[in-house]
Every structure is written in structure tokens, then in C-alpha cells.
Structure 1
């Protein structure tokens, strides 16, 4: 429909294309929420951490290869063909996920233990918003600030490349950042074990702060190889940080409501991007890329601080939270 509208309607009718894009996004299959809700059912402990890390690494690979594929189709065929390829891949991915889940017996929602015992704990009247759980709300805030910080850096680096007259330089640095993320994800996934979320996000913030010190107006001229090195090294903390954050959400949320929980995470990450984009743009226009990247580092620091206030629930507490959704806080146990 979007391709047809662009081909038929005049250029002044561009708001119609925006409306179609908005309505299409409402029908987007919630693949990320559903898949992330499944990982805690497949594994526990270090193995679950590795699964979340591999997922975050896969996302980085898709984010690197997706734009390249789209640009290639646009160049070789047409923009309409590129949109068609995106639609095809999205539909195939959703169907493939559904078939895999059905084949693995994961297409049903597990009943809480209390409900199975006939206690009636799963009645809708007993359900309360997950956001009323203090630990869950703070976990969502971690995702909010974390994703905002990542997009602040992306926008700032691309803008820096355009300002110096070499847009490819900024794009190359962003690509190297994604490469570093993929490398970090592969290494962490191979090691397994439990993660320390504040430490991982803190390392990401350090990498962002180092990058800010190398950009204008703080630094007038920095060798490109040094910027590239900082981007690769700083990027190694991206996928592990995202994976650790998502893993903790899956641990804190009630088992029967994990899809809803990751829906809130998706909303929070989108909100973080919505905050970071205009704020970074304003800082770029008024001060420079160093301050905009520094703002991203500050958001990462906030994510690390909020993560540090959370505690890992003990196994018994996790079971209790899975049985009832009206728990006010699961803030006990060992530190993240």
C-alpha cells in the first residue's frame, strides 16, 4: 500500500504516506517481545544469559546488514522494491518464528503454579499493572536510558561526519561500533556465566565519554584511526549490556506475563530514542558533537546507576513473583 501510494499520489500528499507508515507499524508483529519471553522458559542461569547475548549480537548483525541490503536493492532496482523486500522478510520472519515455537511446544502460555492448584491467583481481578512493581519499573528505566544513550551517539557521530564534509566517515564509525558490539556479544556468549549489569553499562559509558573527548569542540582534530579504535572498543559493551538488561527483565517479570513485560521494554526503548534524538540534535546545533555524545554517556551512567539499585531475586522469590502479579517489590537477594 505504501509503495502504491508513493507511486500514484503527488508529492504534496506526503502526509498520506506518513499515515500509512504509522498504521502499518501498529500491525508490526511483536517478534522481539514474544521471543524474549521464551528465552527464560528454555534455560536458566548462565545459559539464559548466553541466549540473550546471542540475540543482542544477532540484532547488531541485522542492523549492520539491513541498511546495506536496502541500499543495494534501491540502487539496483528501486525504492519500491526495497520496501517490498522488507515486507517479505518481515512476514517470513514472523511465520518462521510461529512455526518454530509451535514445533517446540512454546506456543502456549504456562499457567502459574498457584492457578494450577486452584487458588484462583490468575483471575483478572487480581492482576495489577507490572509498572506498580518497583523492581520491574526500574528495570524498564534501565532500558529507557540505555537505548537513548546508544542513539545519541549514533546521531552525533553521523552528524560529525557530515559537518566535516565526509559523511562516509561517520557512517564508517557507526559500522565499527556495531562490529565491536557483535564481537563483544560473541565473546560474552561464549564465556557464559552470570552478568554484572551496572559494570557492563558502566564500561559502555566510559567508552562514550572517551569518544566525547575526541570530538569538537573538545578536540579540534583527532586522527581517524584513534576514533575508529575507540568506537570498536567502546562498542564491545553494547550487546552484553543490552543482553544483561533484557535477561534481568525476564527474571523479574512474572512468568505468565513476560510477553507484556517485554512489550513495556519495547515501549521504553522507543521512548528513550524519542528523548535522545531531539535532545542530541539540539546539542549538536548549539554546542557540538562532543557535548551530544557526552549526553549519551550521561544517559548510560543513569542506566548503570538505576541498575545498581536493583537486586537479583532468589530462586524462591522468582517463583513467588511468577505465581502472582501483585507483588509490590522483589528487591531482595544478591546484587546484579
Structure 2
């Protein structure tokens, strides 16, 4: 059962690179908590927190493909150095504004947070562009699922870290910690990439004739566009769950229970990801997301207004079971994006993936908030189920060519037990 994990553990440099890439992303889940305390303490308004965080998300979405394209054409390490420094400067400037300007001038910070979002270090897209160069085709899904599973675990640690720093030293210190983690994580990951000789894309065989194709957007390929829209709707569905559980907990005096349920959702995702990786089998993103649709629909039926009396034990079981579909679905959909992109443009492809996931969250959060106010938690999670259904239908529409090829390779006799 664990042969796939053993094979991945034997890949040279993979453990170091994967560990560094995950640690370099911990600031992403810690920053929302840190910013909430910093900005709310400055302005006295959570509306300003939402607007400034939204401006940062827009910056991230806009810059994703551009950062990837630069990394493909030049040195990924240089891109990580520059963006890590710019990101830290942006957060430092935001702290200065919060500490020196009166609260009525907070709209000035919108430009600062937008700039900070533009310079987010592209750890995710650079690392995902590198993974196919380290393993054979039959192991790509397992590695992408392991990456998604690892980030689920890291994402649980980030808010805890930020909360601990806020408790001890305040919001300013928490944002400083996030800036240091982002800049140092990007620098260390970039240095290891350079030392491994992986900071530049592999030379292509097309030569100069491929230049015209390079100028065409990857989104002009209908198949690639559908592959990118899968995580767009998938992330929209997932973020509907977190906000809905928090809102339900606050409205029923169960804030602690809501936090535990969100943690269990992430725990279920980690368990599901590890099982898929350990089994070493190809995971269909369409089937995994279809299972997520069922789980979200059942969860919606267990919450108000559908259910007046909450059966907490049933909610816990459904949350964990639904969570087990998350990391496998994210891993499989990420693998398809990398599969459909030219090798010399993978960082750009994962830049579009980053833009899609950020945009999906930006689309869903206002809708979820409106549904929570108007109808309750069941309606908002139901909207997530609809988004997941669209993602599943898009995934089913993708060609099976790449999957069949990988399955044929998996069925063929293996020459070696490990890659390396």
C-alpha cells in the first residue's frame, strides 16, 4: 500500500524541495489572521479588513500568469528573490501606515495591499512546475496530491501561529512574522532550486519556431481553459464551507465548535490525500469532485434552515468524510493543468491556476455572505455544492488521453522500484 510513498521518498532532492516549498507557504494561511488584527485595530471596522484583503487578492490574481511567464523565460530563483523582497516591503509599508496615519485615511492602504498582492512569491506555481521534472509520468498525480495534502497540514498551522503571535505581541508583530517567513522562505527555496539546477526550464526542442506559440495565451486552448476552470469552481465550493461553518457557529453560540469542524474538514482532506498517495493509483478529478458534491449536499441538509435540531455527531461525520475528497481532487486537477501545458510554459500555466483559484474565492465569498444573511448556512453550502457540480462537469468534459497514457504506463512492468 505504501510503495508509492516509498518511491517518492527515494527521489533525489524531492524531500528537501517539497518541505521547503510547504514551509515557504505557511505565511499564506497566517496572514489573513494577522491582517485582521492589524487593520481592525487601526480602523475599527471589519469592512476595511475585507476591502484591503480583497485588494490583495486582486493583485495576486492579476500577477499570477505574469510571474509564471517571467519564471519560465528567466530564472525562477531571481523571481523568488525579487517577489519575496517586494512582498516584505509591501507588508512593512502597510504596518507603517497603520501605525502613523489616522483611521480615516485607511483607503490609502488599498494601493499598498494591491501592490503587495502583485509581489506574492510564486512558491506554489514554481514548485508545481518543477515536480514533473523530478518524477516519472505515472507518479505525477501522487506527487501533486502529496503537495496538496502537505499544504492542508501547513494551512492548519498558519492561523495557530498568527493567533499565538497576536496574543503575545499584537497584530503588528504577527504581520512582521508573516513578512519574514515569506521573504526568507522564498529565498531559501530559490537557493535550493538553483543549487539543484532546477531554477531554469528545460531547453525545448522546438527552437525559434516556437516563439510565435509563446506569444499566444494558454487560455486560447479550450481544453486548457476548461482544466483551469475546474479549480476555479472547486475553490469557490471549498471556501463556502469555511465561512458557512463560522457563521453558523457564531449565530448559535458555537464558535468553538465551528473552529473544530473546520479543522476536521482539513484533517479529512489530509487523510484522503495520504490514502490516495499511499495507494499510488491515478485519481480522477471528476469522480473526486462528484463525491464532494454529494458530501456538500448532505451537509447542507443537516444545517438550518433545513434542519432545526442539529445532530452534531452527524455533522462531524459528514464534514470528515467530505473533507477526504478535497486533497485528492485538488491534486488531480492540478496534475491535469500541468499535463496539458507545454513543459517550457508550466510556471505560466500554474500562474493561471493561481489566478483561477483566487478568482473563485473572490467570486464565492460575497455570494456566500449574502446567502448567509438571507437564508442561512444550508443555502450558502448549497451554493458551494452547485459550484462543485460545475467543476465536476468540466472535469468530465476533459479528454481522457493523458489519463489513459498514464494508466498504460502504470500497467507496464516497472524497470526500477524507485525513481532516481
Task: Tell me the TM-score normalized by structure 2.
Answer: 0.72
Output the CA distance in 1 between the equivalents of 2:340 and 2:401.
Answer: 7
What are the within-5 Å matches in structure 2 for residues 265-304 of structure 1?
A: 265-304=353-392
Q: Is the 1:45–1:194 contact (alpha carbons within 8 Å) kept by the matching residues of 2?
A: no
- 2:227 pairs with one of 130, 136, 139: 139
Tell me whether 41-50 or 234-243 shows the greater mean CA deviation: 41-50
Q: Which ranges in structure 1 are unaligned for 5 or more consecutive residues?
A: 319-336
The structure carrying a bigger helix percent of its residues is: 2
Instruction: Describe the superposition over 1:249-269 as per-residue Cα deviations: whole angstroms up to 9, x where unpaired.
Output: 000111111111111111111
What are the within-5 Å matches in structure 2 for residues 1-336 of structure 1?
A: 1-115=93-207, 120-124=208-212, 127-314=215-402
Task: Tell me the TM-score normalized by structure 1.
Answer: 0.89
What is the aligned-residue RMSD (CA, Å)?
A: 1.8
Q: Is the 2:339–2:402 contact (alpha carbons within 8 Å) kept by the matching residues of 1?
A: no
Q: Is the 1:45–1:193 contact (alpha carbons within 8 Å) kept by the matching residues of 2?
A: no
Output the CA distance in 1 between the equivalents of 2:213 and 2:284.
Answer: 36
Q: Is the 2:234–2:387 contact (alpha carbons within 8 Å) kept by the matching residues of 1?
A: yes
**What's the secondary structure of 2:401's corresponding residue?**
coil
Output the CA distance in 1 between the equivalents of 2:404 and 2:371.
Answer: 47
Q: Which ranges in structure 2 are unaligned for 5 or more consecutive residues?
A: 1-92, 407-420
How far the C-alpha of 1:302 sits from its partner, in A, is: 0.8
**What's the secondary structure of 2:99's corresponding residue?**
helix
Tell me whether 104-113 or 202-211 shows the greater mean CA deviation: 104-113
Tell me whether 83-92 or 187-196 shows the greater mean CA deviation: 187-196
Output the CA distance in 2 between the equivalents of 1:269 and 1:72.
Answer: 28
How far the C-alpha of 1:317 sits from its partner, in A, is: 9.7
Tell me whether 43-52 or 197-206 shows the greater mean CA deviation: 43-52
User: Using a 3 Å threshold, how does the CA distance of structure 1 residues 151 and 314 change in structure 2: closer, same or farther?
Assistant: closer
**What's the secondary structure of 1:121's corresponding residue?**
helix
